[in-house]
Copies of this chain bind each other. A is one copy, B any other.
Amino acid sequence: MARPRPLSGYPELGPAQRIVEQQVLDTLRGVFELHGFTGIETRAVEPLSQLLRKGEIDKEVYVVRRLHEDPRSGGVPAAEEDGAAAAADVLALHFDLTVPFARYVVENAGTLQFPFKRYQLQKVWRGERPQEGRYREFLQADIDVVGRDVLPSHYEAEMAAVMSEALTALPLPALRMQVNNRKLIEGFYRGVGAADTAAVMRAVDKLDKVGPDGVRAELTAAAGLSEEQADACLALAGLSGDDPTVLDRVRALGVSDPLLEEGIADLGAVLEATASLTGERFSVVADLSVARGLDYYTGTVYETRMSGFESLGSICSGGRYDALASDGRSTFPGVGISFGVTRALVPLLGRGLLRASRSTPTCVLVALVDEEGRAAARRTAAALRARGIAAEVHPDAAKFGKQIRFAERRGIPFVWFPGAADGGGDQVRDIRSGEQVDAVADAWAPPEQDLRPRVVAG
């Protein structure tokens, strides 16, 4: 084949980059499991009709079809089935992990235990125009908890705390998680007398794009608010802060509504549950302008910005949803957060801001003196592996200089020389320092930090 070229929007990582991604995934999984989340996977495809019911992303969906038994048009599948009938059976690649999870919950409601906490690390596909931070295939790390018919609001604080703990454990630039509450803003808009609170939310959601004057114009025109009402809504959207006094400032706006009070309490609980995690590299702030586009959120909503990479938008988002999943008898309210692993990592890897200390798991390269020594070299490698030290034998009995370069090119820190000691024993060399010492394969161990590839940031 001619040398193939990368497909735009389908990032593939080199071996060392992939080691970084895998360690990130291991860290996330470790935190999620410590908190009692079970890892599930759903199939890559869902019925197209189900996907199109959720969100406004019909242009981004990839349809999947078996290549026809009798492929015409150069292998392109024909599509002459009766439209509506065929559409019912058409499958498409999932574009997120929330919709498949909601389907999984309803499908398996008879056997799952509720509240059900799961994490899910899987790729998703969207036919978007590729750009930095926007890919056609990308990896998401989701946590959700769903109840049957009820789900206590304390989970909204706990999900923020779990994801905060996971993100804090990653070697990322400083992160800022912005939280808000749909009940709070809807109650507030109701309290100021807005008839169409959804229209107000849509207008306020454009604050970043059109500025306060643009929002005020839309609030008074499209949403039918008075200037005074519009000012109150803009005053709310202008509030943010990382401690509970921000909630006092919400109350100081003088609007009264029971739903608003519920929302204030829930938002306060989220700030409290995450307060201990806030530091230089991570913070959780209440931001009363955050609304999230998706219709199905009904309580806490989350967004997260990465310092220096604000143009990526939110890399970790989610919220509470009360009506996403239902089988007619029961509903399954939930709350979840999704971290865009590819969206956050690929820009960092591409700029060399995250690296692995080597491009292979191998810690020790066992040098090969001659072909007759291969069996002994294999036993040495096996003895190291038996104690958890990744080891491989050099491919052939090349000159030692070449064997050492084999290790250098991959970042393997140690080379083992059979029979190199005066008495015929083995020696091992740290090829970074050049230090070479007597060693026995059944006993020698590398320093802890060299056992596995390390992820280096910055």
Q: Cα distance A69–B5 when bound, in Å? A: 26
Query: What mask results when residues 263 to 304 of chain A are scored 1 for a CB within 8 Å of chain B, else 0?
Result: 000000000010000000000000000000000000000000
| Chain B residues with CB below 8 A from A50, complex form | 1, 4
Question: How distant is A107 from chain B, measured CB to nearest CB, in Å?
Answer: 5
Contact A75 B87 (CB under 8 A): yes
- Mask, A410-428, CB within 8 Å of B = 1, is 1000000000000000000
Q: Is the CB of A107 within 8 A of B76?
A: no
Contact present for A76 and B67 (CB under 8 Å): no
Which residues 83-129 of A have a CB within 8 angstroms of B? 83-84, 86-87, 90-93, 103-104, 106-109, 111-113, 115-118, 123, 125, 127
Tell which of A74, A77, A106, A326 has the most Cβ of chain B within 10 Å. Answer: A74
> Do B106 and A137 have beta carbons less than 8 Å apart?
no
A409 adjacent to chain B (CB < 8 Å) = yes
A6 at the interface (CB under 8 A from B): yes
The answer to whether A442 has its CB under 8 Å from any CB of chain B is: no
**CB-CB contacts below 8 Å: A21-36 with B:** 22, 33-36
Residue A432 lies at the interface, judged by CB distance under 8 Å to chain B:
no
> B67, A391: Cβ atoms under 8 Å?
no
Please tell me if A396 contacts chain B, counting CB pairs below 8 Å.
Answer: yes
Q: Interface centre among A38, A69, A82, A390, by most B CB within 10 Å?
A: A38
* Number of identical protomers: 2
Contact indicator A58/B75 (Cβ below 8 Å): yes
A38 (CB) vs chain B CBs: closest residue: B15
The stretch among A179-187, A227-235, A242-250, A358-366 that forms the contact with chain B is: A358-366
For A120, the closest partner residue in chain B by CB is B18
Contact yes or no, A391 B40, CB < 8 A: no
Q: Which residues of B have CB within 8 Å of A66?
A: 59-63, 127
Picked from B33, B62, B112, the residue with its CB within 8 Å of the CB of A361 is B33
Stretch at the interface among A41-49, A170-178, A197-205, A306-314: A41-49
Taking a contact as CB atoms closer than 8 A, the residue among B4, B14, B83, B103 that contacts A74 in the complex is B83
Could you say which residues of chain B place their CB within 8 Å of the CB of A443? Answer: none
Q: For residue A85, which residue of chain B has the nearest CB?
A: B74
Q: Mark A133-147, 1 if CB is under 8 A from B, else 0.
A: 000010000000001
Bound-state Cα–Cα, A71 to B74, Å: 22
A350 within 8 A of B: no
A385 at the interface (CB under 8 A from B): yes
Could you write out 21 A-B pairs with CB less than 8 Å apart? A2-B327, A3-B327, A4-B103, A7-B45, A10-B45, A14-B108, A14-B111, A15-B112, A36-B362, A45-B137, A49-B75, A62-B65, A63-B76, A64-B64, A73-B81, A73-B82, A74-B83, A113-B406, A113-B410, A117-B392, A273-B378
Closest 6 CB pairs of A and B: A73-B83, A74-B87, A36-B392, A74-B83, A36-B362, A33-B361
